[in-house]
Structure 1
Amino acid sequence: MTASARFSAQYVAREMAASAATNAVLSSAFFVLFFGLVDPAPVKGVGGYGFDFLPQSLAVAFFASFVPSMMSGKALIAGKLPSVGSLLLYSVLYGAIAATVGGGTIALLLNTLGSPELANLPALAIKAVYGGALGAMVTRFALRRLAGLGAAQ
């Protein structure tokens, strides 16, 4: 299977949907684990809801890039895509960018402009939507980058 066929629009859309669903569920699960569902979530400070967007962004972007890239195994084995080490490095880079830009912006805004607490259900919904949207966006970016590399070789 050629790189261009492997990375068709349908394939990328399926991977984006899977990434969005997976990351929304995982973001929700980690929210419940760390903040629970009983009391309002504290927003400000280290360990607060705002700060939690930093590690969430890093993890979502890393896995949204690395997992779909590794699932392109046939092209990887055929030498049409970068090495596993290179995919890992790019995934770490995507995670660092997402944590800095996305997570950092949200954390800064919530810590400076937000209220000290946020009701858990809206907070959970925001985390799920953010995780899903970020996962889909990073998956699309990573697979399109790989498609371009595969087609160029």
Structure 2
Amino acid sequence: MMAEQEQTGQVIAYIVRETIVSAAINGVISALFFFAIFGTAWRIAAGEWGYAIDFLPQSAAVALMACMVPGMIARRAQRTGRLAGDNGRPVTVQWLLRTAFVSVLYALLLGAVIASFWMFSIVATLDWPVALLMKIIYGAVLGAWVTRHVLRRMVRGAPLT
């Protein structure tokens, strides 16, 4: 019983650690793309095609990265026996690709909802620091959620060995 609890704690710690790393990386990548697309112009049109529509590619890219990178790392840990899968075998590449596809679809749906909000809001412009902060937070939260969801499905409580 005690060894099982310890293993469960290690799996939870692994998922938490990877989720935090994913949030940080996706927040930084979101910031870099923000500067590449919008630069540092003081005012950014919120409801026009630029800022609003940018939530679509940002959502897709974050979901893909947050699924594939931690998923491939976890798959390698499963293949080497360091992390067990729910049935004792590592997930397949096909499973990971299907999961990435579904993650991207859901993220695009979320991005479309957020883009619609900005397109139809009464907010005409945003100061670039505010716009940047929102993009960073969105990328970090979406990345963390996707990573946590994917890793939990991969291990389903299986122990680290």
Question: Normalising to structure 1: TM-score of the pair?
Answer: 0.86
Deviation of 1:11 after TM superposition, in Å, equals: 0.3
Deviation digits for residues 30-68 of structure 1 (CA, Å, limit 9, x no counterpart): 00000011231222233x111111111111011101111
Does the CA contact (< 8 Å) of 1:20 and 1:135 recur in 2?
Answer: yes
**Change in 2 beyond 3 A, CA 1:8/1:14:** same
Rounded Cα–Cα distance in structure 1 between residues aligned with 2:68 and 2:144: 13
Partner of 2:46: 43
Amino acid of the structure 2 residue aligned with 1:67: V
Counterpart of 1:71 in 2: which secondary structure? helix
Match of 2:95 in 1: 86
Are 1:147 and 2:155 counterparts? yes
Q: Following the alignment from structure 2 to structure 1, what is the Cα–Cα distance between the partners of residues 10 and 62? A: 21
Larger radius of gyration: 2
1:63 correspondence with 2:72: no
Shift of 1:149: 8.8
Unaligned runs of 5+ in 1: none
Cα distance in 2 between the residues matched to 1:8 and 1:19? 16
Q: Tell me which of 117, 121, 127 is aligned to 1:113.
A: 121
- Contact kept, 8 Å, 1:81 with 1:150, in 2: the verdict is no
Q: TM-score, normalised by structure 2?
A: 0.82
From the superposition, tell whether residues 97 and 149 of structure 1 become closer, same or farther in structure 2 (CA, over 3 Å): farther
Unaligned residue ranges in structure 2 (runs of 5+)? 1-6, 82-87
Aligned length: 146
- For 1:27, the aligned partner's letter is S
Write the deviation string for residues 111-143 of structure 1: whole angstroms up to 9, x where unpaired. 001423211100000000110011111100000
Q: Which amino acid aligns with 1:142?
A: V
- Quote the Cα distance in structure 1 between the aligned partners of 2:158 and 2:64: 21
- Residue 44 of structure 1 aligns to a residue whose secondary structure is coil
